[in-house]
Amino acid sequence: MLDRNINNLNIALDSLGANRLRSFLTALGIIFGVAAVIAMLAIGRGAQAEILDQMKLVGVNNIVIKPKAEDKKEDEQNKESEDKSTAKPATTKARFSKGLSIADAESIRRMVPTIAAISPEMIQEQDVIYGSKSSKLKIVGVEPAFFDINNIRIASGTIFNQRQQIAGEGVCIIGSDVKRKFFIAEDPIGKTIKCGVQWLKIIGVTEEKPISKATKDNLGIRDYNLDIYIPIQTSLVRYKNPSLYLGAGDNAFWGNQNEAPGNKIFHQLDQLVIQVHAAESLSESAGIISRMLRRRHNDVLDFEITIPEQLLKQQQKTKDVFNIVLSAIAGISLLVGGIGIMNIMLASVLERTREIGIRMALGAQKKDIVMQFLFESVLISLTGGVIGVILGVSGAYLVDKLADIHTIVSGISIFISFVLASAVGLIFGISPARKAAHKNPIECLRHD
């Protein structure tokens, strides 16, 4: 039995070798279909890995609150509805809000039971100088919870202790890129660096946190490796504290200096990140926090709340739909390739009718004829599959390098491609093989 199949395989190979160009053209559909399948699976896996990396960057179960200019249109609509309901004439007096502040963070910490951690942030740019080197960098006032929420680890040194936080001491933790920029051949721990008008002692260095440009653009996050972190109390004491702007309109002033900032809202915080215990409570917690802040801000909508995890899930869903569409197109390519194989094999059966008759006359059984033509169709598919794998892997690599779309080629995608190619050759080769095997030997021998 094995010898017969080997003989049938050799006959199939001889037939394909005698018609190399036709065999290659027949395999084109399989080549492009397999290449498309591998490329699409690589793009899909790359997108999934990118989403997971982005979720690690923004943290899990986080709510992000950022200050913004007051939404005048919405505020006016709210006032009009209030005036209509109370039947009172509309007033034009602007409502005052002190902006997003540390007091808001403390109130949320006390009042919302689903909160696991909270991290207020104050961000400002300062000229940083060490020795003969200088650069303009971001100085970020944070609490220790910031590093846990954002999955930032300390590579060397220590984090702020309680005394340093409360007293607002002049200490800092620098990012890994800051270390490379200013301290190439020396240990920065214990050194003093000038940030603006303040001298800060370096007590720690963060581990490098890889962040692609696309990720920064999509999530609107900073490059954590280029930041200098100080206790938030240090930021309030040693740098500008926006909450010292008091009042509104012409009565506003900065400290003891007479200034008139107008109706501008002076936010103390640039960002407030809140981590909840469970993902199920994200939306509910965000709603509670929104209502709390509206009450604390005198019903002025001067903040915006986003949930990065939900945005990322929506982004993943969009990419999944895109990948499904592309995979469907790849599947259609394989289907077209299979139909091409069947058409060529049917034409081959007609062309080789006399050859089939001679084989049957010499003792070949119907199953030998079936196996011969099945071997031919499967070999065409597998050859197309091999070429398609090479093209697919090369295409995924080019997409990664040229289009800046992360791709991951896995062994399972190559295996699936080979299985699909073999299945297409087998399924679409059965009909021509059966047709060849059921021919009448005498009629085949009479065929010219």
| Gyration radius of the chain over CA positions | 35
Label residue 254 by pLDDT band (50, 70, 90).
Answer: very low
Task: Give the C-alpha separation, 233 to 160, whole Å.
Answer: 11
Cβ–Cβ under 8 Å, residues 10 and 372:
no
Which residues, at least 6 apart from 236, have a Cβ–Cβ distance to it below 8 Å?
Answer: 102, 122, 141, 168
Q: Report the candidate in 124, 141, 162 with the shortest Cα–Cα distance to residue 235.
A: 141
Q: Per residue in 291-311, is it b (16+ CB within 10 Å) or e — as a string?
A: eebbebbeebbbbebbbbbee
pLDDT at residue 237 greater than cutoff 80: yes
Most confident of 231-235, 360-364, 435-439: 231-235
Report whether 26 contacts 377 (CB < 8 A).
no
Statement: residue 316 has pLDDT above 70? no
What pTM, to 2 d.p., does this model score?
0.60
Torsion angle, alpha carbons of 171, 176, 178, 182, to 10: 100
Backbone angles phi, psi at 87, to 5 degrees: 60, 35
Segment 17-40 mean pLDDT: 80
Lowest mean pLDDT among 144-148, 368-372, 382-386: 368-372
Query: How many CB atoms are located within 10 Å of the residue 118 CB?
Result: 21
Residue 363 has pLDDT above 60, yes or no: yes
Task: Decide if 261 contacts 254 (C-beta within 8 A).
Answer: yes
Segment 187-223, tens digit of pLDDT? 999 999 999 999 999 999 999 987 766 666 666 677 8
d(C-alpha 251, C-alpha 445), whole Å: 110
Contact partners, residue 268, CB within 8 Å, separation at least 6: 98, 99, 100, 101, 102, 122, 241, 242, 243
pLDDT digits (tens, 9 = 90+) for 153-172: 999 999 999 999 999 999 99
Type of residue at 385:
G
Q: Average pLDDT in the 47-68 region?
A: 73
Among 134, 138, 240, CA closest to 194? 134
